[in-house]
Structure 1
């Protein structure tokens, strides 16, 4: 089942990378993303002060009778996030962190997750749009808007309680994400979301694939973050334009990474056979070509 999920995910990643490929005629971006981040945060603060979480309805509602605002609610968490040198404030509301019996911990920014969600746009300080999207599906935290990536890692999965019926989970992570436009679709927008829209998502995290390995090379994608900046997407050992986490031959020596596992334990990252580079694993060392 896990391998099947990975195959689906690899196909999705390939499509996303093709769709988001570089522009052969790049234009100068004169949009002030930093100023927009400030505008979005001001709008979110106003929204929080005028709305509250209605537990009975499991919904965010305008304050009508002295309810505790989201702004003053201890369950609302603020997170500082930097993307493309712009500082953002991301917010998420924690109904339940999640507590599976077999505790896999929290997913990483590169893991594949199984979640239920529905999204709305924050229109005014006391107004939300109808749902623009809702689904229950597998997806990669590396392949979605960055607000999702940086939020879902703070929730855990749940327990599979399926009994000869539809797949179902209980006690999973549950919350609400409040995402500034710069961590969503920014000035681009989509067919259904206007540029610079602030988004809100109700989410339930049901499960995830611990140590997701996107290219199936034996090295978890999160561990292909060689420079240690928390972002494996910018690590490309052989400088071929394909980051290591989706490169089946990380050092470009003609031998697949998964085959540079001389000790045969399924982990190429602990094979060191070059005395001149004792701290460089074989799969990242072009000077040594050792197959398992």
Structure 2
């Protein structure tokens, strides 16, 4: 049995344009300097990591009733000798508006190496919690929730692909799912530049320039094909037959920076990747041999070649 994904309800889901790319909101708002905010965010996150720990001892020796939930607490009093998070996280640098931003992530449990990890562009099924550094939760789901790993803020998407999925699940008689207890569990600490920066999602109470924490259980992932056609009346779904994670033309593991026709729409979201007026689905593999077609033999597949006809 293959699990059917629930309808996405994830609060931080964005369009393919990052939610934080709007530096001209037209309402008199004056955006702060990116480098200045990054320095403040990183200092705040590092201080948090130096002064907090997680329940690593419970993960190392779980009791029969342990719920495998990450819990953060302050290093003080009875907890004065705990190992700080700063000694247990891994850091990764990602550019936002040409300014390097560091995010820090914690793997509380990775699961067996035989369990696969998703790739950017695949649809993930997770349980999650989003909070501020002070511990206040702004969004969470304790039930399975699905969304595209490219449909969330950059830092969170980059973190999700570091967690291994569960090896499987059992279906209970009441239709609910019991996951094999070997899925990846972790948390990521994001500067605002890799979250929402100056433009939190409409309708939320997330303040501008907020560093955020996301905890996640990685349960399962599937391929996703999410191309669209833009029309005057709105976007129309038009899958092109190429899973989004495979539209990584430059092979760097990130489909977000691949835009063959330079129209501002990355290939994984663009129904006509080369902008020649012919939809990708009618150029990719017309003869059905599993190999992208190359009509003019120039080594560039037709769906990426606006001049693909033999003269």
TM-score range with shorter-chain normalisation? 0.7 to 0.9
Contact kept? 2:156, 2:214, Cα under 8 Å: no
Q: Distance in 2 between matches of 1:122 and 1:24?
A: 27
TM-score, normalized by length of structure 2? 0.74
Partner in structure 2 of residue 157 of structure 1: 165
Give the structure, 1 or 2, with the largest relative contact order (CA under 8 Å, sep 6 or more). Answer: 2
Q: What's the C-alpha RMSD, in Å, of the aligned pairs?
A: 3.4
Q: Distance in 1 between matches of 2:295 and 2:248?
A: 22
Distance 1:161 1:30, change over 3 A: closer
- Among 219, 222, 247, which residue is 1:206 paired with? 219
Partner in structure 1 of residue 128 of structure 2: 117
Distance 1:51 1:238, change over 3 A: closer
TM-score, normalized by length of structure 1? 0.79
**Superimposed CA distance per residue, residues 26-49 of structure 1 (whole angstroms, 9 cap, x where no aligned partner):** 989652111111111111121112
Q: Distance in 1 between matches of 2:248 and 2:28?
A: 30
Instruction: Give unmatched runs, 5+ long, in structure 2.
Output: 59-68, 228-238
Q: Report the alpha carbon displacement of residue 15 of structure 1 after superposing the two structures with TM.
A: 7.9
What SS does structure 2 have at the residue aligned with 1:36? helix
Contact kept? 1:99, 1:158, Cα under 8 Å: no
Distance 1:36 1:81, change over 3 A: same
Query: Higher helix fraction: Structure 1 or Structure 2?
Result: 1
Q: Distance in 1 between matches of 2:278 and 2:295?
A: 15
Q: Report the alpha carbon displacement of residue 77 of structure 1 after superposing the two structures with TM.
A: 1.3
Contact kept? 1:236, 1:243, Cα under 8 Å: yes
Instruction: Give unmatched runs, 5+ long, in structure 1.
Output: none
How many residues are matched? 273
Partner in structure 2 of residue 86 of structure 1: 99
What SS does structure 2 have at the residue aligned with 1:16? coil
Contact kept? 2:34, 2:97, Cα under 8 Å: no
Distance 1:42 1:25, change over 3 A: closer
Query: Counterparts of 1:23-102 in structure 2 under 5 Å?
Result: 31-55=32-56, 56=58, 58-63=70-75, 64-65=77-78, 66-74=80-88, 76-99=89-112
What SS does structure 1 have at the residue aligned with 2:92? strand
Partner in structure 1 of residue 140 of structure 2: 134
Q: Report the alpha carbon displacement of residue 25 of structure 1 after superposing the two structures with TM.
A: 6.2
Distance 1:5 1:155, change over 3 A: same
